Structure 1
Amino acid sequence: MAAAPAGTDDGVPRERERYTDAAWQAMEEAPSFASQVGSQYVESEHVFQAMLGQTISATGGLCRRILEKAGVKAPDASAKVADWSSKQPRVTSPGGAAPPANAAGRSLVSMIQDAAVLSTQFKDKFISIEHLLLAFGRDKRCGQRLLLELGVSEDQLKEAIDAVRGTKNVTTQNPESTYEALSMYGTDLTQMAREGKLDPVIGRDDEIRRVIQILARRSKNNPVIIGEPGVGKTAIVEGLARRIIEGDVPTALQDKDVISLDIGGMIAGAKYRGEFEERLKSVLQEIKEADGKVISFIDEIHTIVGAGA
């Protein structure tokens, strides 16, 4: 993270434990963006560039996800902030090269101070990407102007953040893995069937009908499909998804979405104790909030036993 200019006490939290992993990573990468354009100080736009550079995954890309939810294409935002940054005053050393930028500029100090206040207002335990993004949008020097040029207001940003976060708070240093968990760790088989991406299932009509019969019950309605590898267990579920799209199911199942959950993806990258459980809880909570509209399919369900331990 960029250091404060000598002789200043700006009150900016610099402890690693105050930030989420993604937020701290952005702060660490920001000086390289400042150096690329010959800036003497690390400013708010350099942190914004670092946040935009994080790819969308279970552990990052939250800035992109929020902006895209607000209707902004990430490449457009990257191009605009890069253009702004390149037009700012440059500093060169006697040899003509840009000196390394390692001091926090005023806009960055203000951005982090605002982000810390926002994290408190959100009742979050850590300063996260969404706090930095909102604080950047309040920066009159750069952020406010850039986001308005991209057609995004602070209210729209907040709505996008609410859409991504839902009712969740930042209680871990990797909260991104619990945001939009169902879409992050699930594949919508009914949508794939709607798009013609699932092949017809041959020879499994009896099994598909039996699964439909069990799912239509009011209780004891969780079928488990057992069989040797390669006999077509997953194909039965794909056949169910096709029948839902074709309307060839009882009325009680006609508006359902069949979501295949990726347990391996939930386990992957879970560094902290209990992180897998947090991801699984987030998925289950989103399924619950769907109010019965989601039929979840767990392939290789036995892999859950002992997972994340």
Structure 2
Amino acid sequence: MIMDIQFTTKAQDALGAAVRIAAANGNPQVEPLHLLDSLLQQGEGIATALLEAVGADVRTLTAQVRQALSALPSAQGSSVASPNLNQASFKVINTAQELAKERGDEYVSTEHLLIALSKDGGPGVSDRLAEAGATPAALLDALQKVRGSARVTTQDPEASFQALEKYGVDLTARAREGKIDPVIGRDEEVR
């Protein structure tokens, strides 16, 4: 059951945000689409990094998800005040838990949820992610590059996975972007 699953802080935030998004839209149930929207709203998280690593346009994907959310049936009253997870959302969470176990992780994290959405998100979610290039296989490859062999053993692992990007400067990327001045007067040293 969902109560037995250990989630990272970011994964808990994503699930909570999905419930709030469903309630704000007047949706009686939390769909996988709500969960995808909440992951996209996290911005600098691992889920966004994975999507960018597979070449997905996060802005376009976010716009498509928001448009699909507005098309979901809505209601008013007490039935939508606290929406519950539907079967498809439970399936996504169970798939995420299986992915975490396969990787030897102790906690279900946002990357597990994203990969589970691409696998079992159902029509409108898995299809949309696949169109953006975020297939389960592509996301798993990107996860391996972003995370390496690191395991999720704490409730806040996202901070350590991209420590180099957070605390370092990628000089090669800055040079590509033209943000580094050319070396002048150092011909001997450059050769």
Q: Same-fold call, TM > 0.5? A: yes
TM-score normalised over the length of structure 1: 0.55
The higher relative CO (CA closer than 8 Å, separation ≥ 6) is in 2
| 2:31 corresponds to 1:28 | no
| 2:52 corresponds to 1:62 | no
**How many angstroms does 1:150 deviate by?**
2.0
Equivalent residue, structure 1, for 2:118: 137
Change in 2 beyond 3 A, CA 1:186/1:106:
same
Structure having the larger proportion of residues in helix: 2
Aligned length, in residue pairs: 188
Distance 2:165 2:23 in 1: 37
Equivalent residue, structure 2, for 1:126: 107
Change in 2 beyond 3 A, CA 1:189/1:88:
closer
Distance 1:141 1:184 in 2: 35
**How many angstroms does 1:36 deviate by?**
2.7
Residues 216-274 of structure 1 deviation map (CA, whole Å, 9 limit, x = unaligned): xxxxxxxxxxxxxxxxxxxxxxxxxx58x967158xxxxxxxxxxxxxxxxxxxxxxxx
The answer to whether the 8 A contact 1:115-1:132 is kept is yes
Match of 2:39 among 51, 75, 97: 51
Residues 141-165 of structure 1 deviation map (CA, whole Å, 9 limit, x = unaligned): 3321111232332211111111111
TM-score normalised over the length of structure 2: 0.86
Distance 1:190 1:134 in 2: 30
The answer to whether the 8 A contact 2:9-2:155 is kept is yes
Change in 2 beyond 3 A, CA 1:198/1:131:
same
Match of 1:197 among 168, 180, 188: 180
Specify the SS of the correspondent of 1:89.
Answer: coil
**Deviating runs (4+, > 3 A) in structure 1?**
188-194, 196-199
**How many angstroms does 1:31 deviate by?**
1.3
Aligned ranges 1:104-123 → 2 under 5 Å: 104-123=85-104
The answer to whether the 8 A contact 1:136-1:143 is kept is yes
The answer to whether the 8 A contact 1:192-1:198 is kept is no
Equivalent residue, structure 2, for 1:159: 141
The answer to whether the 8 A contact 2:27-2:83 is kept is no
| 2:74 corresponds to 1:90 | yes
Specify the SS of the correspondent of 1:187.
Answer: coil
